[in-house]
Amino acid sequence: MDWDQAKLVGLVALGGALGSVVRYAASGYVTRGDFPWGTFFVNLTGTFLLATGFFLAMGRGFMTADLRAFAFIGIFGGYTTCPRSGSRRWACSRMDSSAGPQPTSS
């Protein structure tokens, strides 16, 4: 593993730790009764913030690769439990064909 990969792993780990702590606090604060309101709240807010941040970052290009890894993989990965395959498909569709699989339209 070279320095750049180690740096990304460290940023993702730091972001994941931060996101997990925020998830624990938010979920515990909101959960009441038998329904898992905390999980519902965390996934709803996390998905909204992830999608909004992702499209703003990709559309305007103001985030570096390191910051995207820290925020989108680390923080939101630790905060939410929602799958992010939709955002990955969208990101792949913006790449050229040599960069990876392309989503197909039906």
- Output the pLDDT for position 91: 55
- Output the pLDDT for position 25: 92
- CA terminus-to-terminus distance, the chain: 40
Return the closest-CA partner of residue 19 out of 84, 93, 64, 98: 84
| 3-state SS track over 63-103 | CCHHHHHHHHHHHHHHHCCCCCHHHHHHHHHCCCHHHCCCC
Q: Which region, left, alpha or beta, applies to residue 36 given φ > 0 means left and ψ of -120 to 50 means alpha?
A: beta
Q: For the segment 38-88, what is each residue's pLDDT rounded down to a tens digit? A: 888 998 999 999 889 888 888 887 788 899 899 999 999 999 875 444 555
Q: For the segment 25-46, what is each residue's pLDDT rounded down to a tens digit? A: 998 888 888 888 888 899 899 9
Read off the tokens for 84: 């992010």
| Residue with more model confidence, 63 or 93 | 63
Mean pLDDT throughout 88-103? 51
- Output the pLDDT for position 64: 85
Does the pTM surpass 0.95? The reply is no
